[in-house]
Amino acid sequence: MFAKCSGYDTDLSDSQWQKIRKFIPRDTHYGRTRGTDMRRVVDAIFYISVNGCKWRNLPKDFPPWQTVYRYFVLMRKKNKWQKIHHTLYREVREEAGKDGQPSLLVMDSQSVKTGKNAAAVTRGFDGGKKVKGRKRHLVTDSLGLLVDIVVTPANMHDTKGGMAVLKKIKNRWNNSKVKKIIADKGYRGELLRGFVQTYFNGDIEIGQNHTSPAKGFVPAEKRWVVERGFAWLG
């Protein structure tokens, strides 16, 4: 199948499909009965996500790209992707012997370049990294699993971006169990520390990378998992 030509098998297994099929928008029952195979639609969306091709270049063994794109947008508007992620996140943590909610979060940011066609309002210049584009504010748990993310113009300060993504997490878990957040020096300051104390009744720890004469560069303990998350995104 075309979905496997790139070396990535993006087709859902039966067990994977059973986990997410309940999140698929139901047929409205207005007009003609839906004839589209929604499992193949999701396979196609994952193919696009993994391979990064244009919608118009979707292989012909999937449903028409217009149909796939329409359902992708519909599921985004209805927050279906977010709900799928939140459900699977809890399951993965519980399978690893952890509580469904983390008590420790790890946070960092990454500035990335954008194309010239990106909307100007979504772009900015990060003077420290010398990057014009957007900034990803990423939060993981101690396992390195993605908890949440906010994307801002690259010129937004880490403190403001950090507060934005932490607000999303607080809204997701009203009775949050988070007690500590580990971040790098870009998140120093009483503003964010006070925010974490108010919203989570927790504390923020500023980790530092260091250089050892014997080992060279040594990543900060525990904080390396968020760096791995950026590597996965890349």
Q: What is the pLDDT of residues 140-166, one digit of tens each?
A: 999 999 999 999 999 999 999 999 999
Task: Identify the pLDDT of residue 6.
Answer: 41
Task: Identify the pLDDT of residue 116.
Answer: 83
pLDDT more than 70, % of the chain: 88
Task: Identify the pLDDT of residue 213.
Answer: 54
For residue 220, what pLDDT band results from cuts at 50, 70 and 90? low
Task: Identify the pLDDT of residue 52.
Answer: 84
Under DSSP, is residue 50 helix (H, G, I), strand (E, B) or coil? helix
175-180 long-range contacts (CB < 8 A, ≥24 apart) are 176/101, 176/200, 177/99, 177/101, 177/102, 177/103, 178/101, 178/102, 178/103, 178/104, 178/105, 178/202, 179/103, 179/104, 179/203, 180/103, 180/104, 180/105, 180/204, 180/205
Under DSSP, is residue 213 helix (H, G, I), strand (E, B) or coil? coil
Mean pLDDT on 11-22: 93
Do residues 107 and 182 lie in contact, with contact meaning Cβ atoms separated by under 8 Å? yes
What's the chain's average pLDDT? 88
For residue 209, what pLDDT band results from cuts at 50, 70 and 90? low
Mean pLDDT on 192-204: 92
Q: Which residue ranges does the chain devote to CATH 3.30.420.10? A: 101-233
Task: Identify the pLDDT of residue 27.
Answer: 78
Strand pairing class (180-183; 104-113): parallel
Query: At CA 139, angle to CA 137 and CA 145, rounded to 5?
Result: 135
For residue 215, what pLDDT band results from cuts at 50, 70 and 90? low
Ranking 5-9, 181-185, 194-198, 205-209 by mean pLDDT, the lowest is 5-9
Domain 101-233 fold is Nucleotidyltransferase; domain 5 (3.30.420)
pTM (2 d.p.): 0.82
Do residues 138 and 110 lie in contact, with contact meaning Cβ atoms separated by under 8 Å? yes
